Amino acid sequence: MTRRISQGRKATYYIGGIIMVIGALMFFSTFVTFAMHFGDFDNFEDNARSNAIRAFGGMSLLILGGIIMGVGRRGLAGSGAVLDPKQAREDLEPYSRIAGGMIKDALDESGISLGSAGRPGSEAVAERVVERVVMIKCPACAKLNEEDSKFCQECGDKL
């Protein structure tokens, strides 16, 4: 299982970002050239067409870059580009792990330990909880005995 976001996905994310920057520059350059050629009616149609192409191209690049960044961030399956729920879960794993970790931290702080199903160690946690509920501590030697036992297993003291 991949515990980290792969280099490929990071690269995809940055490429998407670069495309977005290029798109933004292209889009805003139309305002600059529009201002520069303002009142230039000789090449008005050419300028207008060039502006329209750049405005449209810039916007397309912005959208495309945004999509590529999303794919890089969440992975192909995680972003829904590829329909693969199993892979999606793996792609989104760093995010769900962070969310789960934050919940776990909050619970740890409040003194509640919660073993999630399927995670190693959850059985041990459950056993400890059961132990605390069912066992009683010997007043003499502090050995844990079963709740219904009358004498301590360790020292024979009356419970």
Site residues for Zn ion per CB under 5 A:
138, 140-141, 143, 152, 154-155, 157
CB of 138 to Zn ion, least distance (A): 3
Q: Which of these, 91, 77, 82, lies nearest to 6 by C-alpha position?
A: 91
- Rounded least distance, CB 4 to Zn ion, Å: 50
- Closest contact distance (angstroms) between CB of 135 and Zn ion is 12
**5 close to 72: Cβ distance less than 8 angstroms:** no
Residue closer to Zn ion by CB (options 55, 159) is: 159
- Residue placing its CB nearer to Zn ion in the complex, 105 or 157: 157
Q: Which is nearer to Zn ion, 105 or 147 (CB)?
A: 147
Written as one string, the DSSP assignment of 19-84 is HHHHHHHHHHHHHHHHHHTTT--TTHHHHHHHHHHHHHHHHHHHHHHHHHHHHHHH-TTTTTSS--
CB of 131 to Zn ion, least distance (A): 16
